[in-house]
Amino acid sequence: MQTRDLSLEQLQNVVGGEHAREATRQDAVDGVVPSFVARPGSVEEISELMRLASGAGAAVVPRGAGTKMHLGNPPHRAEVIVDMTRMDRVLEHAAADQVLRVQAGVKLDELQEELAASNQMLAIDPPERGATIGGVVAANASGPLRLRYGTIRDLIIGIRVVLSDGTVAKAGGKVVKNVAGYDLSKLFTGSLGTLGVIAEANFRLHPIPEVARTVTVAVEDAGGAAGAARAVARSQIVPSAVELLWDGDRREISVLLESIPGGIGAKVETARFLLRPFGEVREEEGRVLPEMEPAEVELKVNAPPAELSGVIESVTGAAERRGLEVSLRGHAASGVTFAAVSGGGEEDISDLIAELREIRSRRGGSVVLTRAPVGLKRRAEVWGYAGDAFELMRRVKEKFDPPGTMSPGRFVGGI
Amino acid sequence: MERSRLIRTMESILGPEGVIHEREQLRTYECDGLMNYRVIPDLVVLPESAEQVQKVVRVCHEEGIPFVARGSGTGLSGGALPVEKGILIVLSRMRRILEVDLENERVVVEPGVINLWVTQAVSDEGYFYAPDPSSQLVSSIGGNCSENSGGVHCLKYGFTTNHITGAEVVLPDGEMVHLGGGKAPDEPGYDLLGAFVGSEGTLGIATKITLRVVRQPEAIRTLIAAFEDTEKAGGAVSGIIGSGCVPAGIEMMDSLCLEAVEAAVHPNYPECGALLLVELDGPEAEVESQFEQVKRICEENGSSEIRVARDDEERALFWKGRKAAFAAMGRISNDYYVQDGVIPRTELPEVLKKISDLSSEYGLRVANVFHAGDGNLHPLVLYDGEEQAGRAEELAGEIIRVCLEHGGSLSGEHGIGEDKKKYMPEMFTAEDLDVMQLLRCAFDPHHLCNPGKVFPTPRLCGERPGPFRMHPLQEAGLAEMF
């Protein structure tokens, strides 16, 4: 579809002169430079923008703080960036009800600070700094705490979205327990801007644990890492996170324990006991978990948690055979392993991905190319979805966004 | 297709013992757990495998025959109510536990498996299946999946949707798809599993379900605390939640409910205006310390008596009264109508006051039992016979409106089904409902799968929602939409 009749002036008429501009190279989405960036200040403005853009046949890519723009296939087209950062209000924090309603442009870090004043948190801890709530939901970002609290789908209780034709709709509500109507909050979670713009979201909150300690064991090999993770995960100490670090000589499993002052000692004691058979154990105050430095190429391997040692061995082995270097971080008890890959050419890395995907196709799970140069993305395909529901996903996309306005091409199978 | 030919076709798929077509036998299936609505289906089929389900659905798709899936038939919103001239697909013969994989904390089951069996299959090894609706002795996992069932422990552990990680689904056109990663997390693509769970049987039929099971807690402590009235008990609930602990369950019963429960199962609860049942679980030291705090909060809020369960037996007795609450109503009333509204927890005192005012206004008694921790109310409107039924339903409707006025929801766990669909426009706008139905149209464009449920106005799938554009014929006054 060709972009007709879409001018900066029209966008400015919707969002105000200072909130729409020509796009620059910095706004490029995987190499595709858009024409305009518009920053709506209200749901109505988003709706108006969407009508305008889809009416003109322009493709729209919603963006929060832009911390996850590396995720997804290169878009087929991207004419208008809908930048959500102006919509940064907390609409309601009902502390006693432990629920929250926010606009999508609210920054997670700032939100957590605000919630901490009431001893509460949104129990999600993705690694990116500065990410917006809308972006976290759209990208289904998560962190170590997912072991205890689940991912965004488990915390989101309501949503307000704007479709490409300007329709504004909500689903869910602001109560924790609610089965009225379809759960569109989950449908939009992880949909990466391909179904509509997420304007607002509601969440359940959790109390901040009073004390935290981290117990870490240095393991010998992949079997040791898996054994240590398994021992803790199958215990009754309810760890908040069990993390893997596998980087050169540093091979560790770290266990985050949280409790009340009267309860933490026993948890730490048990964790030390369970981890001792696997190597040297150390203990630190607070949360001290391995963090991932952004690399040029990152893979996310999703596998049944019991296959941790197999995942470590297959990733490191396949990399070594191709002369590639990898370092791993992971949510060891949740089945998520991130690999930062360096060295070698695109062909080697794309071969590596093919090999890992072949293993996962037999044993369950998936390999997603979460960060890569555009050339590699085109060669290896980002998502590697191999399931049988693709046709259904395509029908969902068609129903929600018939003209294909929303982030075309970014999602699985080029949706 | 002619009925006799349809019967023969179904018999060729399922064998004669898998097809019910005699009117008297069909009557058994005319309603689910909500008996206010009754429809006799054209046929009932009892498949024993996913392949059979698929074949039956294919015939329905080809012939344009509507169908409804049913598990144990314990639903309370009429979600499994048959449709006229439709086929009822009863999944209770598909009741195998297919796999127990504790290394990955997963159990794979067929949809007819009973909720409690899952816990029984893994309890020896220290695990349990957390969602525990009061119907767990009889309700099926397939039904739980359709309704996104809750339970008394879901405040801490989450609902059915948080414990289903994969499903094999026969779509309304007979295609089979696998949704969710099952044992592996974060499957790429749309979270269609998240949309499917809780869709009340309108998007397809699950033929295999992967469940997450949870490690048993090291310690469990349970108490009951007596209060003068529900307001004081509500104060204690707020205090407990505000203290930063997440109890495994907090249940509340008012005096009328207690009267019924006492007569029915003799739990020997203290005599009081409102009773709280609080359960904490987790690591021993943590639970001990928090339990003392809970006791203190109950005392500070004026509890006249606190009893702590000394052993598993006493804990079971405490729970027995609560779990029998609905059934016990028969002791004090001929008929009752259950509501399932949800409110923000802090609105409890005001909402209860309004319910009590409405009860006086209508001259009908309302017993209250609720999951106080998550604000899910189950007001039981008591009435006597046909002549009061209409008024009881009206009162129940007023109660649900009060919940909505206070920022709540129509249903916390029973579902919308047939019973509550008329209230949907009071919670959602026309646009909200239209957008939900886009999902329906992607799964079931011909509206064959549990048609007429959940949505008050089924939308034809060819249409586009969005800004209103008048059709030329309509403009000329020559045609009407719908």
3-state SS string over B178-239?
A: EECCCCCCCCCCCCHHHHHCCCCCCCCEEEEEEEECEECCCEEEEEEEEECCHHHHHHHHHH
Indicate which of B292, B435, B449, B469 best probes the interface with A, i.e. most A CBs within 10 Å of its own CB.
B435
Q: Is A383 on the interface with B (CB under 8 A)?
A: yes
Query: Are residues A200 and A103 in contact, defined by beta-carbon separation less than 8 angstroms?
Result: yes
What 3-state DSSP class applies to A216?
strand
A73, A154, A163, A178, best to mutate vs chain B, most B CBs in 10 Å: A178
Q: Are A341 and A293 in contact (CB under 8 A)?
A: no
CA distance B28 to chain A (A): 28
User: What element of type H or E holds B133?
Assistant: none
Cβ distance B436 to A389 less than 8 Å, yes or no, reads no
Q: Does residue A338 contact residue A299 with C-beta atoms inside 8 Å? A: yes
Contact A175 B159 (CB under 8 A): no
Chain A environment of B439 (Cβ under 8 Å): 182, 184, 187, 396, 399
pLDDT for position B1: 86
Domain A292-372+381-401: what homologous superfamily? Ribosomal protein S10 (3.30.70.600)
Chain B nearest-CA residue for A95: B242
| CATH class label, A8-85 | alpha beta
Query: What per-residue confidence (pLDDT) applies to A1?
Result: 39
Of A173, A390, A411, Cβ closest to residue B409: A173
Q: Which domains does chain B have, with CATH numbers?
A: 3-90 (3.30.43.10), 97-215 (3.30.465.10), 218-330 (3.30.70.2190)
Give the rounded percent of residues in chain B with a pLDDT score beyond 90: 89
A121 in reach of chain B (CB within 8 A): no
Token code pair at residue B243: 């203290």
Chain A environment of B249 (Cβ under 8 Å): none
Which of B242, B259, B101 is closest to B183 using CA atoms? B101
Give A321→chain B minimum CA distance, Å. 26
Cβ-defined contact of B442 to A360 (cutoff 8 Å): no
Residues A309 and A247 sit within 8 Å (Cβ to Cβ) = no
Contact residues on chain B for A306, CB-CB shorter than 8 A: 101, 103-104
For B285-314, b/e burial (b = at least 16 CB within 10 A) is bbbbbbbebbbebbeebbbeebeebeeeee
Q: Which positions in chain A touch B450 (Cβ < 8 Å)?
A: none
Place of tokens 């109507």: A181
Choose among B176, B289, B464: nearest Cβ to A402: B464
Of the candidates B178, B218, B285, which has its C-beta nearest A387's C-beta? Answer: B178
Paired sense of beta strands A241-247 and B274-282, if any: unpaired
- The pLDDT score that the predictor gives to residue B473 is 41
Across the range B272-299, mean pLDDT stands at 96
**Structural domain boundaries of chain A?**
8-85, 90-207, 211-285, 292-372+381-401
Given a contact cutoff of 8 angstroms between Cβ atoms, the answer to whether A307 and A313 are in contact is: no
pLDDT at residue B462 is higher than 80: no
Collapsing DSSP states into helix, strand and coil, what is residue A258?
Answer: strand
Across the interface, do A396 and B432 touch by the CB < 8 Å criterion?
Answer: no
Q: Quick check: B165 pLDDT over 50?
A: yes
Cα dihedral A59, A63, A69, A72 in deg (nearest 10): -50
Cross-sheet strand order for the sheet of B219-227:
B305-308, B219-227, B274-282, B249-254, B366-371, B376-383, B335-338
pLDDT at B36: 86
Q: What share of chain B is helix, strand, coil (3-state, %, to 5)?
A: 40, 20, 40
In this structure, what token pair is assigned to residue B342? 């949800």
Q: Do B289 and A260 touch (CB under 8 A)?
A: yes
Q: Model confidence at B468, in pLDDT bands (50, 70, 90)?
A: very low
Q: Say whether pLDDT at B446 is over 70.
A: yes
**DSSP 3-state assignment of B68?**
strand
CATH topology of domain A211-285: Alpha-Beta Plaits (3.30.70)
Least Cα separation, residue A24 to chain B (angstroms): 30
Contact at CB, B150 and A177, closer than 8 angstroms: yes
Q: What six digits make up the tokens of B38?
A: 């009754």
- The Cα-based distances of A102 to A108, B182, B432 in angstroms read 10, 31, 19
Residue B32: name the closest of B95, B82, B84, B67 by CA: B82
Give φ, ψ of A11 to 5 degrees.
-65, -40
Give kind and range of the element (H or E) at residue A213: strand A211-219
Which token pair is B462?
A: 């060819």
Distances (CA, A) of B397 to B336, B379, B404, B410, B411: 14, 11, 11, 10, 12
Helix (H) or strand (E) holding A408: none
Q: Are the Cβ atoms of B411 and A178 closer than 8 angstroms?
A: yes
Residue B126 pLDDT exceeds 90: yes
Which among A208, A368, A399 is the nearest to B188, CB-wise?
Answer: A368
- Tell me, what amino acid is at B271? E
Question: Does the complex come out with an ipTM higher than 0.95?
Answer: yes
CB contact under 8 A, B371 and A171: no
Nearest CB to B104 within list A165, A306, A368: A306
Residues of chain A neighbouring B171 (CB-CB closer than 8 A): 392
Residue-wise pLDDT for B342-387, tens only, equals 999 989 889 999 999 999 999 999 999 999 989 999 999 999 998 9
Predicted TM-score of the model (pTM):
0.96
Residue B77 token pair: 């919103």
Residue B176 C-alpha, separation from nearest chain A C-alpha, in angstroms: 8
Provide the chain A residues 138-197 that lie in CB contact (below 8 A) with chain B. Answer: 140, 142, 150-151, 153-154, 161, 163, 165-171, 173-184, 186-187, 189-191, 195
- Whether residues A168 and B431 touch (CB distance < 8 A) is answered with yes
The distance of A73 to chain B (nearest Cα, Å) reads 12
**Tokens 């409405």, located at residue:** B358
Q: Which residues of B touch A381 (CB under 8 A)?
A: none
Contact (CB<8Å) B424/A51: no
Domain A8-85 and domain A211-285 have a common topology: no
State which residues of chain A have pLDDT below 70. Answer: 1-4
Distance CA A104, CA A85 (A): 8
- Can you tell me the distance from the alpha carbon of B439 to that of A324, in angstroms, rounded to the nearest whole number? 44
Q: Check CB contact of A317 with chain B, cutoff 8 Å.
A: no
Asked if B217's CB is within 8 angstroms of A236's CB, the reply is: yes
Binary contact (B290, A260; C-beta < 8 A): yes
Looking at beta carbons, which residues of chain A come within 8 Å of B467? Answer: 51, 165-167
Whether residue A181 and residue B436 make contact (CB cut-off 8 A), yes or no, is yes
pLDDT of residue B152: 87
Minimum distance, in Å, between the CA of residue A22 and any CA atom of chain B:
28
Residues whose CB is less than 8 angstroms from the CB of residue B476 and which lie 6 or more positions away in sequence, other chains included: none
The predicted structure's pLDDT at residue B458: 81
CATH topology of domain A90-207: 3.30.465
Chain A residues with beta carbon closer than 8 angstroms to that of B345: 96-97
Which among B185, B195, B215 has CB closest to A183?
B195
Contacts of A387 in chain B (CB under 8 A): 177-178, 187, 189
Q: Residue B463: pLDDT band by 50, 70, 90 thresholds?
A: very low
Angle subtended at Cα B407 by Cα B405 and Cα B411, rounded to the nearest 5 degrees: 95
Distance between CA atoms of residues A228 and A222, nearest Å: 10
Which residues of chain A are within 8 Å of residue B241 when distances are taken between CB atoms? 96, 98
Q: CA B335, CA B35: separation in Å to the nearest integer? A: 11
Determine, for residues A399 and B289 on separate chains, whether the beta-carbon distance falls below 8 Å.
no
CB < 8 Å to A181, chain B: 416, 424, 427-428, 432-433, 436, 454
Beta carbons of B198 and B150 less than 8 angstroms apart = no
